[in-house]
């Protein structure tokens, strides 16, 4: 089955790249400030959040603005990708009514587009490291590992959401609430250490907690998490992807009746 | 001759909720009240059909007889509830009324998008691009979003895009009866050219003259069943006799 999927991906690679290029063009065509905005927005958030929280976590976090920026950049990558993926089938209704296309192309494409945006926003992160005079360790080069885990995880979740969105439109609103809650449930504006025992245990089922910690370990703390952490991350991301593929496959033949 | 399309005992059921439910809230309320009622509608009933490479098949029948449904089953857009559909070749995007495009994109972008759906690279598309532009006669409108197009203009682009790259099968749903006379002529010429090049064509039309002119074989569908299948004139005559 995986081989067949791979074959179709090969056949549809032009479609995939064409869609990604189209998305990038559309995003940056909307306003001249497009690129600037996507860099400024996280930085503005960083300034505001830091102004409020820096002082509180003075003793736990060594450079709060960067702590926040690294966490939120990875989390936003996941939330943007899954949100776009969720709408992807509905938004391609005109195309899928007219010609047969393997439909999983659409959520996958949105996640890849999200990944490209994430790479753009990393530029802002690097600039901030330099501005704060924070050392850029060699381990930073491993940033792509947690990023790929997040990508695979987003693809799986995105496929589930895109299928659900077709059948139940209120899932779209529901998910936007879930993402906000999830954002607070992930140590982004606060350090993991301040959590109580119960919450710490609860945190173990949050894949974003692992991905974000991994990302900070390599970019800020010059550490490489052990193999155990990698295994947990792989279990979360690949597990979600397999579930997503299964769920999508089971429901995709009925999309056309509901889009 | 080799069969390019084989349809065996195909049934298409629309197992739809009586009321349209499109949100979780209603869905759970209905489940709780045990009011989730499904209605089974049979749009295609045990249809058998074989089309040979290079043939031109016409499909006729009253409204709601399942013509569009069978086209969608053949092109893989709809998956049949039962039966087997075998297609040995590439299929162009379905040409139908209100041909689907992403209306926020410009015509140029839509053309490339459709090309890449068929697996064509940008480079391969560049060759056909001028041809599409010339055929649709919309050179000056290429870079405005298609939401600003009239329906006739959309139809032109739709037909031009679907026929731009040579595919094995072309499917046309009732579009040949719209548009001005000149454009119809142009479309018919193009279909004739494609046929000469060996493309298999399936046409749904209410204009029997057109069917008689173009088709080598005709399928008459009635309430989802095959009423008659065979030689163009025989089936068309019988259909006309039935209308009277
Ligand atoms: N997506 C759908 N859901 C429910 N019923 C449908 C759907 N598509 C078509 N039908 C029903 O199937 C029947 C055949 O439709 P169609 O193939 O469009 O007819 P024709 O093209 O011959 O006019 C119609 O009664 C129509 O209401
Ligand atoms: Mg129809």
Per-residue pLDDT of chain B (244 residues; tens, 9 = 90+): 789 999 999 999 987 776 778 888 888 888 888 777 777 889 999 999 999 999 999 999 999 999 999 999 999 999 999 999 999 988 887 777 655 677 888 888 888 888 888 777 778 788 888 888 888 888 899 999 888 888 778 888 888 888 877 789 999 888 766 667 888 888 888 888 888 888 999 999 888 988 998 899 999 999 999 999 999 999 999 999 987 7
**Mean pLDDT score of chain A:** 92
Query: Which atom of ligand 1 is the closest one to the Cα of A257?
Result: 1
The answer on B73 and B183 residing in a single domain is: yes
Of A87, A61, A106, A235, whose CA–CA distance to A166 is shortest?
A87
More confident residue, B74 or A8: B74
pLDDT of residue A92 exceeding 80: yes
Asked if A153 contacts A211 with a C-beta cutoff of 8 angstroms, the reply is: yes
Rounded Cα gap, residues A10 and A157, in angstroms: 23
Asked if A12 and B91 come within 8 Å (Cβ–Cβ), the reply is: no
Assess whether B175 and B150 both reside in one domain: no
- Residue B178: the pLDDT is 62
- Inspect the interface and report whether the beta carbons of B22 and A258 lie closer than 8 Å: yes
Report the interhelical angle of A144-167 vs A64-91 (nearest 10°).
40
Beta-sheet strands, E only, within B110-224: 169-173, 200-204, 217-222
CA distance A175 to A141: 33
Instruction: Check residues A210 and B184 and name the one with the higher pLDDT.
Output: A210
- Nearest to residue A178, comparing CAs of A199, A153, A148, A206? A206
A140-165 average pLDDT score: 97
**Cβ-based contacts of A26 with chain B (< 8 Å):** 104
pLDDT over 90 (residue A106): yes
Pocket test for ligand 1, best of A166, A257, A258, A259 (most atoms within 8 A of CB): A257
Ligand 1 atom closest to the CA of B41, numbered from 1: 5
Please indicate whether, in this complex, the C-beta atoms of B16 and A15 are within 8 angstroms of each other.
no
| Ligand 1 pocket residue status of B205, Cβ below 6 Å | no
Give the gap in angstroms from C-alpha A256 to the nearest C-alpha of chain B: 7
| Residue ranges making up the domain that contains B112 | 98-166
The pLDDT, as a whole number, for residue A5 is: 65
Percent of chain A clearing pLDDT 90 (strictly above): 73
Q: Which of B151, B166, B181 is the last residue of a domain?
A: B166
CATH number at residue B234: 3.40.50.300
Average pLDDT over residues A193-222: 96
Parent domain of A121: 2-257
Give pLDDT, residue B212: 93
- What pLDDT is recorded for position A119? 93
ipTM field: 0.83
User: Number of folded domains in chain B?
Assistant: 2
Taking CA atoms only, the protein residue closest to ligand 1 atom 16 is B66
Q: Cβ distance A60 to A67 under 8 Å? A: no
Is A97 in a helix, a strand, or coil?
coil
Is B90 within 8 Å of B195 (Cβ atoms)? no
Q: B11, B38, B64, B74: which to mutate for ligand 1, most atoms within 8 A of CB?
A: B64
Looking from the CA of residue B221, the nearest atom of ligand 1 is: 22
Residue B102 and residue B71 share a domain: no
What is the number of structural domains in chain A?
Answer: 1
């Amino acid at each position: 089955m995986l081989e067949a999927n791979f074959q179709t991906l090969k056949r549809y690679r032009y479609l995939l790249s064409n869609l990604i290029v189209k998305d990038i063009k559309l995003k940056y065509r909307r306003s001249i400030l497009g690129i600037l905005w996507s860099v400024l927005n996280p930085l503005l958030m960083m300034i505001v959040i830091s102004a409020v929280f820096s002082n509180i976590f003075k003793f736990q976090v060594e450079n709060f603005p960067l702590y926040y920026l690294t966490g939120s950049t990875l989390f936003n990558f996941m939330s943007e990708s899954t949100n776009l993926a969720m709408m992807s089938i509905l938004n391609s209704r005109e195309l899928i009514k007219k010609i047969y296309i393997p439909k999983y192309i659409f959520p996958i494409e949105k996640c890849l587009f999200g990944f490209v945006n994430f790479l753009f926003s990393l530029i802002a992160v690097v600039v901030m490291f330099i501005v704060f005079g924070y050392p850029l360790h060699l381990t930073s080069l491993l940033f792509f590992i947690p990023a790929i885990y997040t990508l695979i995880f987003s693809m799986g979740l995105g496929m589930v959401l895109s299928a659900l969105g077709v059948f139940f439109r209120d899932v779209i609103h529901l998910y936007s609430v879930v993402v906000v809650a999830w954002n607070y449930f992930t140590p982004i504006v606060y350090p993991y250490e301040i959590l109580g025992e119960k919450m710490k245990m609860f945190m173990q089922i949050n894949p974003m907690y692992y991905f974000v910690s991994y990302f900070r370990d390599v970019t800020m703390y010059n550490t490489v998490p052990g193999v155990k952490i990698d295994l947990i991350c792989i279990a979360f991301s690949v597990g979600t992807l397999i579930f997503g593929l299964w769920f999508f496959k089971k429901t995709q033949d009925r999309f056309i009746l509901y889009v | 001759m080799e069969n390019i399309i084989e349809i065996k005992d195909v049934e298409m059921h629309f197992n739809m909720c009586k009321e349209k439910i499109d949100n979780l809230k209603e869905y759970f309320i209905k489940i709780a009240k045990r009011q989730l009622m499904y209605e089974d509608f049979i749009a295609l009933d045990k249809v058998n059909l074989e089309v040979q490479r290079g043939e031109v098949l016409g499909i006729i029948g009253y409204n709601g007889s399942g013509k569009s449904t069978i086209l969608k089953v053949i092109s893989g857009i709809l998956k049949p509830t039962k039966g087997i559909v075998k297609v040995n070749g590439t299929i162009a995007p379905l040409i139908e009324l209100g041909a689907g495009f992403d209306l926020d994109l410009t015509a140029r972008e839509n053309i490339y998008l459709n090309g890449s759906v068929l697996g064509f690279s940008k480079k391969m598309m560049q060759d056909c691009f001028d041809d599409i532009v010339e055929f649709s006669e919309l050179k000056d409108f290429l870079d405005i979003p298609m939401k600003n197009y009239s329906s006739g203009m959309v139809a032109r682009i739709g037909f031009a895009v679907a026929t731009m790259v040579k595919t094995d099968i072309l499917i046309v749903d009732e579009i040949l009866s719209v548009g001005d006379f000149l454009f119809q002529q142009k479309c018919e010429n193009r279909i004739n050219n494609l046929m000469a090049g060996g493309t298999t064509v399936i046409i749904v039309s209410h204009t029997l003259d057109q069917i008689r002119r173009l088709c080598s074989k005709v399928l008459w569908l009635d309430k989802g069943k095959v009423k008659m299948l065979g030689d163009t004139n025989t089936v068309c005559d019988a259909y006309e006799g039935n209308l009277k």
